[in-house]
Structures are given as structure tokens and as C-alpha cells.
Homo-oligomer: A and B are copies of this chain.
Amino acid sequence: MDVFTAVAEPSRRTLLDLLADGERSAGELVASLPALTQPAVSRHLRILREAGLVEVRPDGQRRIYTLRPEGLAELDDWLARYRRYWTRHLDSLERHLADTRTPTAERTDQS
């Protein structure tokens, strides 16, 4: 399943939002989504993993899920084409970039 479809599902966005706060075990994620059963959450996690949006690490009998945000780059790349059309939050975004850019600041792009 591609990234766009994976992210289209509200429960899966909720899972990503939870993982944005830090890694979580499968059981914790199940507990955070009371509307869904354990198998349903497990299936969503599989889809997110296959889409490259999360990673799993075993910890005894638990599975620890972590966010893999690079997977969202494809979505961001597509959106970049449209970002020039609205000016909302441009300043705050630019400030954010200035704050969070990597210390190494690679400029190995084109140009």
C-alpha cells in the first residue's frame, strides 16, 4: 500500500500521531485506540510498516514500534508543488526550519 493510501485512514494517522511522541509497544497502541480490537490495530501497524512509516523492534514478547518519518517524505515532496500557492504559516515554517536544520547542514543538492 502506498503512503498516500496508508495515511488516508484516520486510525492510522492516530497511530502515527501517538508514535510521534515516542516509541510505543503494540499493546500500548491497542489501549490508545479503544474503538478497535487488537487484531485491527495489529493490521494497521502492518500496513504502516509495509508503507515504510514505522519500524518494529522485538523486546521479549513485546513489539516496540517507532516512527519512521522519512516515509512521509514522498507525501511532502508531492505537497511541495502546491505549497507555493498558499502563504499561510510561511513565516513560522521558515523559522521552524531555521531552528531544526541539522548541525551538519549538507548542501549536496543540485545547483
| Chain A positions near chain B (C-beta within 8 angstroms) | 4-5, 7-8, 10, 13, 16-17, 20, 67, 69-70, 72-73, 75-98, 100-102, 105-107, 109-111
Contacts and interface: CB of A to CB of B under 8 A. Distances in A.
A110 B98 contact: yes
Given A8-B5, A79-B76, A109-B98, A69 B86 contact: yes
A80 B109 contact: no
Given A69-B82, A69-B86, A94 B97 contact: yes
A110 B92 CA distance: 9
Given A90-B101, A94-B101, 7 more contacts: A70-B86, A73-B88, A76-B83, A80-B93, A94-B97, A94-B109, A105-B111
B109 A83 contact: no
A107 B91 contact: yes
B105 A91 contact: yes
A66 to B, nearest CB: 11
A82 B72 contact: yes
A10 B4 CA distance: 9
